[in-house]
Amino acid sequence: DRGGAAMTTPASSRPVGTGGRAASDAVLVTGIGELVTCAGADGTIAVDAAASVAQRLGLLRDAAVVAVDGVVEWVGRAVDAPAADRRLDLGGRAVVPGFVDSHSHLVYAGDRAGEFSARMAGTPYDGGGIGVSVSATRAASDDELRALLQARIAEMRALGTTTVEIKSGYGLSIADEERSLRLAAEFTDEVTFLGAHVVPPEARADRAAYVDLVCGPMLQACAPHARWIDVFCEPASPHAFTEAEARRVLVAGRDAGLEVRVHGNQLAAGPGVQLAVEFEAASVDHCTFLSPADVDALVGAAGTTVATLLPGVEFSTRSPYPDARGLLDAGVDVALASDCNPGTCNTASLPFVIALAVREMRMTSAEALVAATVGGARALRRGDIGRIAVGGRADLAVLEAPSFEHLAYRPGMPLARALDLT
């Protein structure tokens, strides 16, 4: 079991998009032509190199699942299924664990379609457009932001995502960061304070003063609403944060009781990955430009720090893809997430991300599926999601397909949706 013991389960955990399910009776989900549990018999994923793909994926044919109040109570062959109060027949479709999107920036107003078009015409990305989203977000009311969040989360569920992490980072004032987190917490337990996304335009004359604000009164106002602290550590961007600045932010966040995750090595090789490893971050995200020493650090941190790859960003910024193959072969824990945001990647589709991972980053379909489920759960230090196993959350994604392989094989097709058991 790689890292399972390190995972913690929050006292309450809600799947994405439900406001808390009413207690229900036992539901038998049957007619599952192919069930990918991502779990071995002992509830962990098989990592034995000799294991077949089916063994590694904990794959069952003609299977069924019994769920009670959103928790898996039984998994096995349909012919052996126990009786239940209700029965849902999926007619031979494939079922996989609901996707765990461990990286998103959903609290924003406005869009930056013009910036995208300019980028496609040759204007490089440097993080400066974040200020445009900050202005639009500050100008929006709570109700407007709440409605936008609700719509975005509904889109995610329609694409098979059942858990989402949501960051702040388009407020960048005490009040606007606090309300971004408060609103995000209405939808998920995985809330991340990203006051150190960029130095906002009005603070550019005195960067140190802005870092003081983030580490002081902003953190104080925000910490009660968040589980995680994150920082955009990217010296290659004039808007993001240096190693020294990022270190201050992470120390302050950790002292305030938040757990650490880091944006690093997106635009150029830099200090992000090694800083994340030093802080025993749950995840370092992007990992697009890595030195051999960064890879070594990530290998040494397996079981603690996950490398979360966000290939939708490389697609939407026309950048080189991270070396997923090299990371996996070296033994790094890898997750896939969307990074859904108005600037670098305005898609929340994990099926699309899986297709990119297979086509562009040479992950196998099985590796990509595991990275978007178990990997995301590890990146959030959650043991109750990302797998279909007794005692875990009954977060299932059903596919309009006979096999999980269709996710990469049929890119862009509407194959996956979160299964509603209520």
Site for ligand NIG, rule CB under 6 A: 105, 129-130, 133, 232, 263, 266, 313, 339, 341-344
Of 392, 393, 378, which is closest to residue 4 (Cα–Cα)?
378
Residue with smallest beta-carbon separation from Fe ion: 339
Residue with smallest beta-carbon separation from ligand NIG: 343
321 binds, among Fe ion, ligand NIG, none (CB under 5 to 8 A by kind): none
Select 44 or 341, whichever has its Cβ closest to ligand NIG: 341
**Which residues make beta-bridge pairs with 398?**
95, 417
264 binds, among Fe ion, ligand NIG, none (CB under 5 to 8 A by kind): none
Q: What is the DSSP pairing of strand 228-233 with strand 191-196?
A: parallel
Select 104 or 305, whichever has its Cβ closest to ligand NIG: 104
CB of 112 to ligand NIG, least distance (A): 7
352 binds, among ligand NIG, Fe ion, none (CB under 5 to 8 A by kind): none
Of 3, 26, 66, which is closest to residue 386 (Cα–Cα)?
3
Query: Coil, strand or helix: which one is 345?
Result: strand
Contacts 24+ apart (CB under 8 A), 263-268: 263/230, 263/231, 263/232, 263/233, 263/234, 264/233, 264/234, 265/234, 265/289, 265/290, 265/294, 266/234, 266/313, 267/125, 267/126, 267/127, 267/234, 267/236, 267/237, 268/234, 268/235, 268/236
313 binds, among Fe ion, ligand NIG, none (CB under 5 to 8 A by kind): ligand NIG
232 binds, among Fe ion, ligand NIG, none (CB under 5 to 8 A by kind): ligand NIG
CB of 135 to ligand NIG, least distance (A): 12
Indicate the DSSP class of residue 208. Answer: H
**C-alpha to C-alpha distances, 359 to 294, 313, 324, 374, nearest whole angstrom:** 24, 15, 11, 20
Select 338 or 373, whichever has its Cβ closest to Fe ion: 338
Token pair for 192: 């991340």
Contact flag: residue 101 with Fe ion (CB under 5 A): no
Select 160 or 342, whichever has its Cβ closest to ligand NIG: 342
* Angle of CA points 359, 364, 365, to nearest 5°: 85
CB of 194 to Fe ion, least distance (A): 8
CB of 313 to ligand NIG, least distance (A): 5
Q: Restricting to residues 326-355, which ones interact with Fe ion according to CB under 5 A?
A: 339
CB of 238 to ligand NIG, least distance (A): 13
Select 3 or 272, whichever has its Cβ closest to ligand NIG: 272
Select 110 or 303, whichever has its Cβ closest to ligand NIG: 110
266 binds, among Fe ion, ligand NIG, none (CB under 5 to 8 A by kind): ligand NIG
Per-residue burial over 241-277, b = 16 or more CB atoms within 10 Å of its CB, e = otherwise: beeebbbbbbebbeebebbbbbbbbbbebbbbbbbbb
Interface contacts to Fe ion, rule CB under 5 A: 339
